[in-house]
Amino acid sequence: MNYTAEDIAEITGTKVIGDKQRIIKNIAFDSRIIYSTKNTAFIAINTQKNSGEKFIEAAIDRGIEIIISEHHHPYYKNITWIIVENSVEFLQKLAKYHYENSHIKSIGITGSNGKTILKEWLYQCLWNEFPTVKNPKSFNSQIGLPLSLLQINSSHKLGIFEVGISKPNEMEKLENIFHPQIGLLTHIGTAHLANFASEEDLINEKIKLFKNSEVIIYNGDNLLVDKKIKTLYSSKKLISYGFKENNHVNFKINIPKEDNVVVKYFDEEISFPVHQRDEATLTNALALVTVLKELGINNKNIIEKINALKAVEMRLEAIEGIKNNIVINDSFNLDLDSLKTALQFLNEYNKPKKSLVLTDIVGVNSNLKELYEEVSELVNEQKFDSVFLIGNEISKFSELFKSKTFTFINTQKLIESKHLTEIENQIILLKGARKFEIERLKDILELRKHDTVLEVNLNAILHNINFHKSLLKPKTKMMAMVKANAYGLGSYEISEFLQHHHIDYLGVAFVDEGVELRKKGITVPIVVMNPEQHSYETVIAYNLEPEIYSFRVLELFYEAVQKSGYDKKYPIHIKLETGMHRLGFKDFELDELIQVLNNKNLKVQSIFSHLSSSDLPDEKEFTLHQLEIFNKNSNYLIENLGYSPILHILNSSGITNYTDYQYDMVRMGIGMLGESPNSEIQKQLRSVVSFKTVISQISLVENGESIGYSRRFKTDHPTRIATIPVGYADGIPRLIGNQVGNVGINKTLAPIVGNICMDMMMINIDHIPNAKEGDSVTVFNAKPTLKDFAGYCNTITYEILTSISPRVKRIYVKD
Ligand SMILES: *Cc1c(COP(=O)(O)O)cnc(C)c1O
């Protein structure tokens, strides 16, 4: 977009204070990830949960000169204010105007699953056919969608936007802002179903997006969807896809596994290889083909585009580099949008100095000078220490870059220059088009190569949190349990990410865990569930909040508070015993508790309890009994304390099974890591943890030979055996050797044969002929899943995660 403040006021019926002629090209709503301040307005969005006005100061500190907010704060100088009545409605109004006055062709995607992946696939297939704009990440809500639409500029020809709703009556508002010409309805699942009276209501709500569409492409496997769309939209062009034969677009069946899949598109057949044959991927592939056909892409082109997709590894990864650097590797593709995303990502890290490696942007037809001017403006605002440009085109514009700038004709030349290996204590962003293969730089810059890693997908955590949040009332707070090193994944890294995403509380088990977080800069309130006797001074010194579960702890802690000279009411959390019989105050102790509390300078910040069996349907009666005791006893406390602390009792499966008892806060643990005992919920969650290693060696072992210690496995025919470098010292229980457990290679399970050694184990790969040395091996993630793996070990996923040895390198990715 490109408006003056005055234009915007006119469009939205709002008022400007200050310089009316300032130009606005971007609107930022998160002061922490402003990648460019020039022509950027900061909007303070007020929601039920948060007031964005808290962040105005931070935005102005970063250099923002235009603020959109519901109130004027006159003490900031030289700022243009757009004063609005309601920040969210303002954004929607502006977005509607902007969209309606653009000349793009638009695709609107909605459904329960697959929206983001389809949007990204479509984008990858189409961006070099038409200048294309899409939602950044999954910005698809009442706020996210308007912000996405505002990114449309005059050069765009196509817009691909996903639209998400979670409650009744939301779609109407969104459709009023955005009415796509082509509507795409993906799978309808059970997400958000709880907020609707029936599946039919959910469908009716979603398909409101297509009210003004010309074409509707939809997954017709769900017969109710098929019927609804046909009834409501009989006058529109309708194309259904899916596995069932009634669909216009489906698969030719009975294709052997190793052959190409064949899509039947009306009377045509289009065949291409697909490497992942799970149902979701295949269904998405059908949707993709259908949209591409609708946009007039020919079959040959479609096949090429789909083939190119398989190379997509669309992720930004942050890795620990040599010389205390952090390396952010984004060497998949390069265009302006993805550059912006990467610069945002960069700003989430706190390193004073940064450097950039950037290549030519390939495959664009626009004016190169304008393109690189825009690129250099974005880059200059970041104040990089050094900028390394690779490629003939971008090198021609090197004088546009204000940092120390070096140019190279190719990646090899940069490697030879040895510049990169001299960088110390910086954050280095590698951003390039695929053909430059700048991932080679990552290999050079990475601290150590680890064959065995535990990869943690932070965005999957966010997805899982948001999924659980979608079940809750907007006001309900959330505590994330990061005890035991965040269930083994790395307490600081996870907490820092959650803090960034405004988690309300963190929960740790012991004081040391809280101290570590404070020392590294975590400022969110932290509750210590089991504060040990001699640690109370530390609790206070580090501003941690103790769980108080007995009179002994209460007295000792209060003594420590008095000694410390703390002169306000210290926040504590009262644990009630309701049936778990672990820690907590019992019924008969309440009167005394009230008396003691009322005589002390302490503030009961929260009252809580813990469910022993929220995951077990058979224990519903017992759980309801626990909930009843909690209700009764917490009420009694509140009546006698004279104020209302935060109440909370639900853990992850409590959130999904006993949503009505959410009180003021819930405590998330395993659910955030993508695990649920309920298979319907499990489908809605994303897998967070991937334990991976590689094949060290493959041997063809002759018939009758034995494998490993104590000769527990003997071959009965010449057998291909692979050795992988993980063993019981890494946290793989020795009892899953001897064909109890499996690992995955190319999505195929391979049994562990013989006894597991300390640092290695052997697996049978006879049935996986294409496996090679150096290939990746999945200990758990998709196949086998963490749950499968826990099943081999005869235990629960919690124990598996917390048992992975610290020597297994944890790496964090955001996809
Ligand atoms: C660990 C823990 C949780 C989280 O439980 P999940 O089942 O992982 O969601 C919640 N509350 C308390 C008190 C805990 O100790």
Q: Is the pLDDT of residue 622 over 60?
A: yes
| Long-range CB contact pairs, 699-706, < 8 A, 24+ | 699/723, 706/754
How far, in Å, are 91, 185, 204, 219, 602 from residue 225 at the CA level? Answer: 32, 9, 9, 8, 57
Give the residue whose CA is nearest to atom 6 of ligand 1. 669
Q: Is the pLDDT of residue 257 over 80?
A: no
Residue 519 tokens, joined: 């020392």
Question: Which atom of ligand 1 is the closest one to the Cα of 608?
Answer: 13
573 lines ligand 1 (CB under 6 A): no
- The helix/strand/coil state of 667 is strand
Question: Which atom of ligand 1 is the closest one to the Cα of 614?
Answer: 7
The predicted pLDDT at position 332 comes to: 65
Residue 425 tokens, joined: 């204590």
Residue 313 tokens, joined: 């590894």
pLDDT band of residue 671 (cuts 50, 70, 90) is very high
Distance between CA atoms of residues 763 and 759, nearest Å: 14
Distance between CA atoms of residues 555 and 223, nearest Å: 64
Annotate 353-414 with DSSP letters as a single string.
-EEEEEEPPPS--S-HHHHHHHHHHHHHHT--SEEEEESHHHHHTGGG--SEEEEESSHHHH
The predicted pLDDT at position 727 comes to: 96
**Side chain identity at residue 730, one-letter code:** D
- The helix/strand/coil state of 305 is helix
Q: Are 494 and 486 in contact (CB under 8 A)?
A: yes
Nearest to residue 681, comparing CAs of 615, 730, 630? 615
pLDDT band of residue 258 (cuts 50, 70, 90) is low
pLDDT digits (tens, 9 = 90+) for 537-552: 999 999 999 999 999 9
- The helix/strand/coil state of 428 is strand
Contacts of 1 (CB under 8 A, 6+ apart): 24, 25, 26, 98, 150, 151, 152, 153
pLDDT band of residue 280 (cuts 50, 70, 90) is confident
HSE at residue 734, side-chain half, CA atoms within 13 A, is: 10
pLDDT band of residue 252 (cuts 50, 70, 90) is confident
- The helix/strand/coil state of 707 is strand
Å from CA of 462 to ligand 1 middle:
18
pLDDT digits (tens, 9 = 90+) for 295-341: 999 999 999 888 877 444 445 677 778 888 888 888 766 777 778 87
Cα dihedral across residues 546, 548, 553, 558: positive or negative: positive
Distance between CA atoms of residues 497 and 476, nearest Å: 20
Å from CA of 480 to ligand 1 middle:
9
Give the residue whose CA is nearest to atom 8 of ligand 1. 669
End-to-end CA distance of the chain: 27
Å from CA of 580 to ligand 1 middle:
12
Beta pairing, strands 719-724 & 761-764: antiparallel
Q: Is the pLDDT of residue 605 over 60?
A: yes
Give the number of other CB atoms < 10 A from CB of residue 13: 10
Give the residue whose CA is nearest to atom 14 of ligand 1. 481
Q: In the annotation, is 483 catalytic?
A: yes
Most ligand 1 atoms within 8 A of CB, residue of 651, 655, 786 to mutate: 651
Beta pairing, strands 453-457 & 689-694: antiparallel
Question: Which atom of ligand 1 is the closest one to the Cα of 509?
Answer: 15
Residue 27 tokens, joined: 């609107």
pLDDT digits (tens, 9 = 90+) for 353-410: 999 999 998 876 678 898 999 899 999 988 999 999 999 999 999 999 999 999 999 9
Q: Which run of H or of E encompasses 761?
A: strand 761-764
797 lines ligand 1 (CB under 6 A): no
pLDDT band of residue 449 (cuts 50, 70, 90) is low
Per residue in 293-326, is it b (16+ CB within 10 Å) or e — as a string? bbbebebeebbebbeebeeeebebbbbbbeeebb
Nearest to residue 26, comparing CAs of 140, 161, 160, 151? 151
Residue 32 phi, psi dihedral angles, 5° rounding: -80, -20
Annotated binding site for substrate: 582, 758
Å from CA of 63 to ligand 1 middle:
42
Residue 354 tokens, joined: 């940064």
Give the residue whose CA is nearest to atom 12 of ligand 1. 610
The predicted pLDDT at position 272 comes to: 86
- The helix/strand/coil state of 8 is helix
Q: In the annotation, is 709 catalytic?
A: yes
Å from CA of 258 to ligand 1 middle:
44
610 lines ligand 1 (CB under 6 A): yes
654 lines ligand 1 (CB under 6 A): no
Å from CA of 668 to ligand 1 middle:
6
Å from CA of 741 to ligand 1 middle:
28
The predicted pLDDT at position 448 comes to: 63
pLDDT digits (tens, 9 = 90+) for 41-71: 999 998 776 788 888 988 898 889 999 999 9
The predicted pLDDT at position 667 comes to: 98
pLDDT digits (tens, 9 = 90+) for 753-800: 999 999 999 999 999 999 998 889 999 998 999 999 999 999 999 999
| Long-range CB contact pairs, 22-28, < 8 A, 24+ | 22/65, 22/66, 22/80, 24/66, 25/1, 26/1, 26/150, 26/151, 27/68, 27/91, 27/147, 27/150, 28/59, 28/64
Give the residue whose CA is nearest to atom 4 of ligand 1. 669
The predicted pLDDT at position 276 comes to: 65
- Structural domains of the chain in order of their starting residue, each with its CATH number: 3-90 (3.40.1390.10), 102-308 (3.40.1190.10), 316-447 (3.90.190.20), 456-683 (3.20.20.10), 689-814 (2.40.37.10)
Contacts of 748 (CB under 8 A, 6+ apart): 767, 768, 783
Nearest to residue 715, comparing CAs of 726, 725, 700? 700
pLDDT band of residue 273 (cuts 50, 70, 90) is confident
Nearest to residue 542, comparing CAs of 506, 501, 583, 502? 506
Å from CA of 507 to ligand 1 middle:
9
Contacts of 308 (CB under 8 A, 6+ apart): 124, 125
Most ligand 1 atoms within 8 A of CB, residue of 464, 481, 661, 665 to mutate: 481
Annotate 617-648 with DSSP letters as a single string.
GGGHHHHHHHHHHHHHHHHHHHHHHSS--EEE
Distance between CA atoms of residues 483 and 472, nearest Å: 23
Q: Are 107 and 210 in contact (CB under 8 A)?
A: no
Tokens 């124990």 locate to: 799
Most ligand 1 atoms within 8 A of CB, residue of 465, 548, 667, 688 to mutate: 667
Distance between CA atoms of residues 545 and 531, nearest Å: 9
Å from CA of 607 to ligand 1 middle:
15
Question: Which atom of ligand 1 is the closest one to the Cα of 655?
Answer: 9
Q: Is the pLDDT of residue 75 over 70?
A: yes
Annotated binding site: 582, 758
Q: What's the chain's average pLDDT?
A: 91
Residue 645 phi, psi dihedral angles, 5° rounding: -65, 165
The predicted pLDDT at position 470 comes to: 92
Query: Facing residues of 809 across strands?
Result: 453
Q: 269 burial class (0-12, 13-18, 19+ CB within 10 angstroms)?
A: exposed
Most ligand 1 atoms within 8 A of CB, residue of 547, 610, 685, 796 to mutate: 610
Give the number of other CB atoms < 10 A from CB of residue 25: 15
How far, in Å, are 172, 179, 224, 226, 379 from residue 231 at the CA level? Answer: 19, 20, 11, 9, 52
The predicted pLDDT at position 83 comes to: 96
Q: Are 187 and 112 in contact (CB under 8 A)?
A: yes
Distance between CA atoms of residues 125 and 198, nearest Å: 36
Question: Which atom of ligand 1 is the closest one to the Cα of 671?
Answer: 9
Annotate 104-160 with DSSP letters as a single string.
-EEEEEESSSSHHHHHHHHHHHHTTTS-EEE-STT--STTHHHHHHTT--TT--EEE
Q: Please identify which of the residues 252, 310, 709, 747 carries the catalytic annotation.
A: 709
529 lines ligand 1 (CB under 6 A): yes
The predicted pLDDT at position 315 comes to: 57
pLDDT band of residue 92 (cuts 50, 70, 90) is very high
671 lines ligand 1 (CB under 6 A): yes
674 lines ligand 1 (CB under 6 A): no
Nearest to residue 329, comparing CAs of 434, 178, 404, 248? 434
- The helix/strand/coil state of 708 is coil
Q: Which stretches of 255-344 are assigned E, i.e. beta strand?
A: 261-265, 268-272, 316-320, 326-330
Q: Is the pLDDT of residue 36 over 80?
A: no
Average pLDDT over residues 177-183: 97
Nearest to residue 811, comparing CAs of 520, 451, 464? 451
652 lines ligand 1 (CB under 6 A): yes
The predicted pLDDT at position 329 comes to: 84
Distance between CA atoms of residues 584 and 576, nearest Å: 4
Q: Please identify which of the residues 134, 305, 483, 575 carries the catalytic annotation.
A: 483
Q: Is the pLDDT of residue 578 over 80?
A: yes
Q: Is the pLDDT of residue 27 over 70?
A: yes
Give the number of other CB atoms < 10 A from CB of residue 605: 17
670 lines ligand 1 (CB under 6 A): yes
Please state whether the peptide bond connecting residue 677 to the residue before it is cis, i.e. omega within 30 degrees of 0. no
- The helix/strand/coil state of 73 is coil
Question: Which atom of ligand 1 is the closest one to the Cα of 672?
Answer: 9
